Amino acid sequence: MNLALFDFDGTITTREMFPDFMRFAVTPGRLAVGQVVLMPLVVGYKLGVVTGKTIRSSVVRFGFRGAPVAQVEQAGERFSREVLPGVVRPMALERIEWHKAQGDVVVVVSAALDLYLAHWCRQHQLDLICSRLEVEDGVLTGRYRGEQCASREKSRRILEAYNVRDFPVVYAYGDTKEDMDMLSLASRKYFRWEEVA
């Protein structure tokens, strides 16, 4: 039994799904205002001067602060059912199924939100390590619960959840620099679906 670690956005899917989920789950009025207010950050992100972590924190704070968690979780379930099947790479599902057929432990490790990833992972019988949002009295605060699951936090959480030395082979699949720490844990590393040394 080996361990297989998969990034989600851009690895399992054909593109980053965070913006799609925000458009799907945030109310239209708040979305319209947010697109104007957050435009400088979005431009900075596209130019490479604003980090993914910073843009995600700002967008989540603006989009979800004060939103009832039950309402957003419902949107997440619908998003996983209605949107994700259309963007999942067939080759990624095949590789996941190959690992499962070998009896491997398969884990999605992502900076994406549990609000939709938890549903998708349950459907595919996969373990999940990802970012979560803070809830107080049934309402989202607009803050992350703990650190976003990106870069070093990915490897830290993997090591917290699994003793990687217990597995003969550790596979890792990623597609951005935020996945490099996770890939460093693996004996078989795949970057953008190409095996690397």
Global pTM? 0.92
Give tens-digit pLDDT for 29-76. 888 898 898 899 889 988 989 988 898 999 999 999 999 999 999 999
Domains along the sequence of the chain with CATH = 3-196 (3.40.50.1000)
- Tell me the pLDDT band of 16, cut-offs 50, 70 and 90: very high
**3-class DSSP string for the chain:** CCEEEECCCCCCECCCCHHHHHHHHCCHHHHHHHHHHCHHHHHHHHHCCCCHHHHHHHHHHHHHCCCEHHHHHHHHHHHHHHCHHHCECHHHHHHHHHHHHCCCEEEEEEEEEHHHHHHHHHHHCCEEEEECEEEECCEEEEEECCCCCCCHHHHHHHHHHCCHHHCCCEEEEECCHHHHHHHCCCCEEEECCEEEC
